[in-house]
Structures are given as C-alpha cells and as structure tokens.
Copies of this chain bind each other. A is one copy, B any other.
Amino acid sequence: MIEIEVKVRLEHSKARSILKTIGAVQLGVESQSDIYFAAPYRDFAKTDEALRIRSLDGKAVLTYKGPKLDSVSKTRKEFETPVDEATTTQILHALGFSEAGVVRKKREVFSAGEITVCLDAVESLGEFLEVEIVAENEKELETSRAKLFELLKQFGAGEKDSIRTSYLEMVLEKYKD
C-alpha cells in the first residue's frame, strides 16, 4: 500500500464551499500538537527521518518515520505506539534527544470518494489543504496522482502549487533567524 499526498496552501473559507459542492463528508476534527525530536547522534533533517510525539484529546502517540523510499511518492516506514506524553518526553530527554520544533494544528478531515481531504490550520503558518489517496501498488501511482490533481483543480490548485516541504521544516525555516 502506498500513500500519496499532495499539500497546497488554500484559504479554508474557499475550500469549505467547494467541499460542500462536491459532496465531501466531514469525518472529524482534531487539535494536534506535534513535538519533533532531534537525535544526539544523527541529523534527522539529513537522514530524512522524524521522531515525534503527537498529542490529541489527552492521548499521545510516539511516531517514527523513516526516510522516503523513492523519489516520486512520500512512501516511508512508519511505526507508532500509544505512550504517556510526559514520561516519554522525559525518557527522550534523558537519552539525549532534544526538541527540534513544535507543530500545532487544527485538522478537519473529509472524505471525497476514495480521496481523503484535510483542512489544516497550522499555528504560525496558516491554512492548507492536503489530499491523500492510498494506492494498492506502484502501477496505480500515476493514476492516483492524476486523481489527486484532478480534484485539486476544482479548488483552483495545480502541480505548481504542491508543497513538498513538511510543516516542521516550514516552522523551523520561519524561526531560523
């Protein structure tokens, strides 16, 4: 299974009316607070890995994301475990990991047929729309990407608007100086 995602900058007031027009169904709303950690022994920015604690609704999840496995999709190994947020942060600090950055966002999730649409309101960054589809295999990759961009067209967005930078990278870039 391959997850294909495309993210664009888009005002949510505009997105909402289009979601209504195309008959998308709202699945839920989450307030996510993601703390990303830096390892003391390798540079996750260079190795394209991420270690994160996501907190939502009083629950927390520790997630490891491995490097992207190819250059055309965002496919990557991902391992997740529910944890206690406070003590897991203490464990990571004790092991020498430090906080690299925090991404806080409100995520509204919609279903538009086989495509999942997220409206992300990211603290200090603004409003985004993310579309996602799950392909069964590599062969479907191109067809699936085409479907995503076909849907995005209805929101007035195209390939040139696609943002491959992660929210964490955008937050770090913003506060670099």
List residues of A whose CB falls within 8 A of some B CB. Answer: 39-42, 49, 51, 62, 64, 66, 77, 79-84, 87-88, 90-91, 94-96
Contacts and interface: CB of A to CB of B under 8 A. Distances in A.
A94 B77 contact: yes
Best-surrounded residue of A79, A84, A96 (most CB of chain B within 10 A): A79
Identical chains bound together, number: 2
A79 B94 contact: yes
The secondary-structure label for the interface of chain A is mixed
A67 to B, nearest CB: 10
Contact of A41 (B80, B90, B91, B96): B96
A41 B42 CA distance: 9
Contact of A91 (B40, B64, B87, B96): B64
A84 B94 CA distance: 21
A91 B90 CA distance: 17
A41 to B, nearest CB: 3
B83 A83 contact: yes
A88 B79 CA distance: 8
Contacts of A90: 64, 79
A148 B170 CA distance: 57
A29 to B, nearest CB: 26
